[in-house]
Amino acid sequence: MRNSIHALGAVFLGLTLAACAPVEKKADKGKKSVDMSACEGLPSHAELKAALTQGRQEANGGFNLDMWGTIVNRDGVVCAVAFTGGGRGDQWPGSRAISAQKANTANAFSLPGLALSTANLFTAVQPGGSLFGLQHSNPVSTHVAYGGDATQNGQENDPMVGGKVGGVNVFGGGVPLYDGSGTLLGAVGVSGDSSCADHNIAWKTRDFLDLDNTPGGVNPISSDDNIVYDTTVDASTGHTTSASGWGHAACSEDATTIGNGLPTSHPKGATMGPVAP
């Protein structure tokens, strides 16, 4: 009987030790190997960071805040994530995922012959708009957006890199990327200030990356994907309406002035390919 008790004790002790022993973390076991060949032709982390910082340092009509920026390829794969501050806490932490959503949106709804910025979609997705409900499609992959080691956020090895983040965001700040031959490569999204300033910085970042050889767009004045300020609020319904159907809410007089002047202050490259009607 005593031997049986000793044997049971040994088994119990063995099970306890096994349960307490270090185990291989699931994240380590399934650690992804990033194939950066999917990002050929797109800016590197260093190039994104330099262009984003240059765009952020100019006057943009916002709060003069530091920014997050994300680049995705044509398949929506995240290729680079960067920030402009001294550390990852120097810009809104929530803007990291938003910048990725904006990049995904601008890429997902642009075509070789039609460039759409996220700002162009603002009014269309409001109640009564032609694209109402679009913002609920293509949900964010929370595993990609929030997984991994946070100390790597905004670095060359940001955990989002290599994953498809998804998401639809219709605030200003996302613009598609077209190379010198007019090929649509993906998009860049930026976030961290007012949505109007975000658009201004995104436009400038694309210009500095020399990936602004865009085709036609829906802006009724410049015929490109620049932000449109023609919205009003219907007093009877409370719905936002836009004369063009592609307008974005205004944030400040300075941001509006800077935004309207972007095609002149930071002109896009040569228009390539078919022009949208």
The encoded tokens of residue 41 equal 């032709």
Residue carrying the six token digits 């976030």: 191
Residue 240 contacts residue 249 (beta carbons within 8 Å): yes
Angle between helices 195-208 and 253-260 (to 10 degrees): 30
Q: How far apart are CA 67 and CA 52, in angstroms?
A: 8
What pLDDT is stored for residue 237 in this prediction?
83
Mean pLDDT of the chain: 88
The answer to whether the pTM exceeds 0.75 is yes
**CATH for 38-265, options being 3.30.450.150, 3.30.460.10, 3.90.550.10, 3.40.50.620:** 3.30.450.150
Question: Tokens standing for 232?
Answer: 């009003």
pLDDT at 271: 58
Q: Which has more confidence, 106 or 15?
A: 106
- Nearest by Cα to 191 from 104, 277, 85, 65: 65
Output the pLDDT for position 129.
87
Is pLDDT of 136 > 70?
yes
Give the three-state DSSP class for 109: coil
Residue 19 above 50 pLDDT? no
Q: Give percent of the chain with pLDDT exceeding 70.
A: 85
Residue 12 has pLDDT above 80, yes or no: no
